Structure formats: C-alpha cells, structure tokens
Amino acid sequence: MTDLSAIEKQLDRLAIEVPSWAYGNSGTRFKVFATEGTPRTVEEKISDAAQVNKTTGLAPAVALHIPWDKVDDYAALRRFAADAGVEIGTVNSNTFQADTYKFGSLTHHDPAVRRAAVEHHLECVEIMTATGSKDLKIWLADGTNYPGQQDMRQRQDALAESLAEIYAGLADDQRMVLEYKFFEPAFYHTDVPDWGTSYAQVAALGDKAKVCLDTGHHAPGTNIEFIVMQLLRLGKLGSFDFNSRFYADDDLIVGAADPFQLFRIMTEVVRGGGLDEGSDLSLMLDQCHNVEEKIPGQIRSVLNVQEMTARALLVDQEALAAARTANDVLGANEVFMDAFYTDVRPTLAAWRESRGLPADPMAAYAASGYQQKINAERQGGQQASWGA
C-alpha cells in the first residue's frame, strides 16, 4: 500500500464545498427528470449534503443559491447546518431567472436594471453576514445571441461599475469571486467569457476580488491547468467549481470525463500552494446529476477529487526536477505518469478508517437507509429543481 505519511497533512486539509442545488432535480432544455426523495426545502438540501460529509469527511460546507435558498431566518439556517455537521459556504447570486434580466443584469444598458442587480448582490452579502459565509460567487448569464445586438464595450464598462458597487459592500473578511464561462445561455457573446476578462475585472477592484474557475467553462482543447498555474501565480485564483465535460458545460461528475486532466489540475494546485496551510483557495463542486442518483453522485465526486489530489501529492518532485533539468522528456513524463497510475484507493480507504469514516463511502451510504427514508418521507410539496 502506498505510503501516505508524507502527504497526510495536505490530504487532511482537503475540503470540498458542495452546492445545495446538486440535490434537487436538474436536466437539459429537453427534459428535467424527477426523482424520488428530492428535497423540497433548503433544510432538506442541507441534510442531504451532510450525508456527503458524514461518509467522506471531505465536504464540511454547503453553498447556497439566492433566491433559490432564501429563508426568513438565516441564523436559524446556520444553526440547522451546524447541527447537521456542516457550515454555510459560498453564497451564489442569481440574475438569470428573472424576466428583468432577459437582456443582461450587471451589464445592462439600463441603469434601473443594473441597480436591481446590484441590490440583489448586496442582499447576498447580507445573507453572507447572517450565515457566516465568506464568499460571494458571481456568475453572470449576461450576453447576447446575435452580432450587433448590444454594445459589448459599453457592457464591459457597466460591469466594472456594477462590480465596484458590490465590492464596496463587502466586509473585510468577505470576498467576491467572479466566474467566467465560454458560452451558454448566451450564444453569440458572453460578457465574462474567459479568465482574462475575469482577471482584468477583479484586478481593478482589489484584494478581496478573485477569479472563480469552473472546469467546464472553457473552449475545446483549453489547457486548464495552465490557467490554474497562471491565476495562482498572479494571486487571483479564488475558487474552483469542479465538474467535468466531454463537449460543452456538461456538468458531469468531476473526474468522470478526463481523470488525467483532474490530476494535472490538482498537480498545479499543489505546485501553486493551493493546499498549503493558510491558502484561501476554495474548492467547490458545481454539477448536475441529470441521470444519476444525486447524493451518491456527490459522494463519488468528492472522492474523485481526493483520489486525484493524493496522486498529485505523490509525484516524486525530486526525480521530476532532475529529469526536467536534464531536458529528459520521457523521463519527466514517466515520473509524472507514475503518480497518476498509482492506485491510491486502498490507501485512502485506510486513511478514512483511521479517521472513523467508512472505508467505502458509496457502500456506506447505500447501506445507511437514508435514501429509502427520504424517498418515503418526502411526499407532497414542491420538489427542488435546478432553477426552482
């Protein structure tokens, strides 16, 4: 069995935030399939999320989505989460489902629309304060479908102004992360389409503004680990939205489509200090379990991240450095691949057991009876779904 002693500290530090919306139904524009046991309230979502942490020890925080997860009493919600063994994580704003924002939100040419969007974000900041959340995540659906439809330059300037207003509302220990996305739901231009735009925008704001990198939000063929490296180098990588994809923003389970890519990404996270003590890099899931079971889908996801992190930590850095210095292409690649091909699963099972966790979290969840319980209990009410 692989010896983990040298990497145990970093492994212990690994924490992956899970999104409240992963437990509700999701789908494509063609169909959202309903499933048994789907939560109907924020509390039920948090309960589901807590199962992920209970079986893996890897998911201590739950991200909220506003307005989907609005409640009257956020202090009570925070206590509910604490009782379930988790914290409230990142607060996600949402300007893509109100009719107001059909043609843009923070970028809209109409000051009244921008005003509403800014206010929504300031409300999110209040919720952060009330729940103890530290991060405001902004992902914008803003963009256009047809060439000429709007003035891209004007919108970029409007975005800068809007973000500055929101930034001014952050407390000292709060951050804003700005997510970029190649395309969808806009099909001609997207206002924050790439890391360069997100970087330029947050660099203009200050230290509390960072970039959020969603692993599914890039053009085909993009070397994502390069961007990870660059943003860590520039001190501007705030967080990850993990998922995987074969085509567009497929939102599949992280590591499912290209496990080697996840390994390379985690290698750069390690290289750039993202798992060092004191790092403020936040790791999150952002996925859609359209056809698979949701809670097991989340468990599988955090395990995939853990497995690839362990492999990334196992790279023989000394041998690698020597091969690189010698320009030994095949030698360096072999050292790198050796870590990737190492089967860390038995070792991680032992790591779990040594911490009082089940050796096999998927099996433990299946055996726990939780799914049967919620299937039976959650009758009536309105099922949560992506966008509801």
Hey, which residues between 180 and 239 contact a second copy (CB under 8 A)? 182-185, 187-190, 193-197, 199-200, 218-223, 225-227, 229-230, 232-234
First to last CA, the chain: 46
Q: Which of 256, 266, 269, 314 binds a second copy (CB under 8 A)?
A: 256
* Shortest CB 217 distance to a second copy, Å: 12
User: Total binding residues for a second copy by CB under 8 A?
Assistant: 103
Residue with tokens 């509302």: 169
How far is the C-alpha of 352 from the C-alpha of 85, rounded, in Å? Answer: 17
* Shortest CB 96 distance to a second copy, Å: 5
How far is the C-alpha of 11 from the C-alpha of 4, rounded, in Å? Answer: 9
* Strand ranges, E, within the chain: 16-19, 61-65, 87-92, 135-138, 143-144, 175-179, 189-190, 209-214, 237-242, 282-285
Q: Is residue 343 a contact residue for a second copy (CB under 8 A)?
A: yes
* Shortest CB 132 distance to a second copy, Å: 29
Tokens linked to 218: 């890039």
How far is the C-alpha of 181 from the C-alpha of 185, rounded, in Å? Answer: 10
Beta-strand relationship, 189-190 and 209-214: unpaired
Q: Point out which span in 59-67, 81-89, 115-123, 331-339 binds a second copy (CB under 8 A).
A: 331-339
Q: Are 193 and 182 in contact (CB under 8 A)?
A: yes
Q: Is residue 360 a contact residue for a second copy (CB under 8 A)?
A: no
Q: Is residue 381 a contact residue for a second copy (CB under 8 A)?
A: no
Q: Is residue 111 a contact residue for a second copy (CB under 8 A)?
A: no
* Shortest CB 130 distance to a second copy, Å: 27
Q: Which of 115, 246, 375, 388 binds a second copy (CB under 8 A)?
A: 246
* Shortest CB 341 distance to a second copy, Å: 6
- The torsion angles phi and psi of 279, rounded to 5 degrees, stand at -65, 140
Closest to a second copy by CB, 44 or 225:
225
Helix (H) or strand (E) holding 97: none
Q: Is residue 133 a contact residue for a second copy (CB under 8 A)?
A: no
- The torsion angles phi and psi of 356, rounded to 5 degrees, stand at 75, 20
Q: Point out which span in 45-53, 166-174, 240-248, 349-357 binds a second copy (CB under 8 A).
A: 240-248
Closest to a second copy by CB, 127 or 320:
320
